[in-house]
A and B are shown apart, each in its own frame.
Chain A
């Protein structure tokens, strides 16, 4: 089981009405691997992540998490989502709950963890990410960077076997980006398996074991970041990266 890929996506297809957004995506992520998805806006990165944890229902294709096919009939999607952490661009913290309650809600209600255990676990996670002093605050009293770190902690509290991160720094002021990226780096060092959609090319080059270039609902090219960023094989990848460089973002 431990040798099974952490995640297999097989021929994932998804349309919104007439608009086919994912046109057959195949992707395998090994345990402890960090894979970055890059590509222009609208290429389908977010949709792919949302389909992976079944928040968005797929039209066809298979998703296999640690050897278990979660798209099979009769699989309880709620149980599956507990094993897949996802963090969104816009944090989506629960505004009516304190930081601590945000983090402990799912462990207590979905995993039936008792309050004491959940609180202790949450506090130690918050401590690790420099948020211990904020545990009784409400989200609107935190900076964007802090909110996003709480959102990451909230996902980690479910002990997911893989984390999906969807442009987690795009909504942040530039000076707050670094603190969130450093949290993700730390997770990578600890061996967390991650699938990351990002526009931060420098970050992708640093952190990724593999980079996938998405265009128009297909993975056009993938490989180690050194190769993709320095000598892309596909002319479209090259064109995308050239535009990024011109925009001063690499």
Chain B
């Protein structure tokens, strides 16, 4: 945490801040001690409360039984493996993410094209983002997953549940991500576009080489944030009948009268979102440093 090379390290004073350590760059020895003691004390208190609470033995058995944790993770002849089902979440997430990144960019760009000829396209893009940001994902899942098969249209009515799930996720998330892109595009100063156009680059070339690369760089942290949300929402695809991690956990829980399977599923989701979250933090921190460095220039 303290490896940031911030400025001169030749501080003449020894790092024993009198009173409040505000403004000191590095946690002093005393501060480390205080934070360790307070961390240990806090979690010890929490553990004590949990252990002494009525029914805590039951909680341990129902949620944290090592036997059930392990068995639900692996699966049994009668119940699907939560880990195996989780691979479906990862699959849905990966496919959706790629499609969203592309589709949302198209929406954002269409929304920004000036000129009266493109008016209908802009309207479609605006209506699309308004609608799909407003409708709950679960409704979109029902409408696509149950509605489209009922229409009896060649090909489109005969896709798999997972495919309908992916389509619904892409429709909903692209509306959010398009707005993120648009904010990024608008944050690039108009003078950049003017400079590109003045050199004889076309509108499209200016967008592709000058505006979008700067815009996308700026919105990577919020994009990653949306993807953490997407990763969790893959669980909702189960309403169409696919057995993904949450559904597998539910099957196990219902037949074994034990909820350790939910804990396993939850841990799997957390395990995959934590690296994403820390990565996002790092990008944000790097961005902040850059901006500060740029401000000095």
Contact = CB atoms under 8 A, between A and B. Distances in A.
Interface in A89-118: 90, 92-96, 105-106, 109-111
27 contacts: A53-B198, A55-B198, A78-B201, A79-B200, A81-B197, A81-B200, A82-B200, A88-B195, A92-B191, A92-B192, A92-B194, A93-B195, A94-B209, A94-B210, A95-B214, A96-B217, A106-B199, A106-B200, A109-B201, A109-B209, A110-B199, A110-B200, A110-B202, A140-B294, A141-B297, A154-B199, A158-B200
A158 B213 contact: no
Interface string B204-230: 010001100110010000000000000
A86 interface: yes
A207 interface: no
B interface SS class: helix
Given A110-B205, A140-B297, A158-B200, 8 more contacts: A55-B194, A88-B195, A92-B192, A94-B195, A106-B199, A106-B200, A110-B202, A111-B200
A150 to B, nearest CB: 12
Nearest to A111: B200
Contacts of B199: 81-82, 105-106, 110, 154-155, 158
A53 B210 CA distance: 20
Interface in B209-261: 209-210, 213-214, 217
A169 B294 CA distance: 21
A94 B192 CA distance: 7
A172 B297 CA distance: 13
Interface of B: 191-192, 194-202, 205, 209-210, 213-214, 217, 293-294, 297
Given A94-B210, A105-B209, A78 B202 contact: yes
Nearest to B205: A109
B201 A96 contact: no
Nearest to B195: A92
Contacts of A93: 195
A93 B202 CA distance: 17
A96 B214 CA distance: 7
B201 A105 contact: yes
A110 B201 contact: yes
Contacts of A90: 191
A21 B281 CA distance: 48
Which of A79, A90, A109, A111 counts the most chain B CB atoms within 10 A? A109
Nearest to B296: A140
Given A94-B192, A140-B297, A86 B198 contact: yes
A90 B194 CA distance: 12
B200 A78 contact: yes
A228 to B, nearest CB: 29
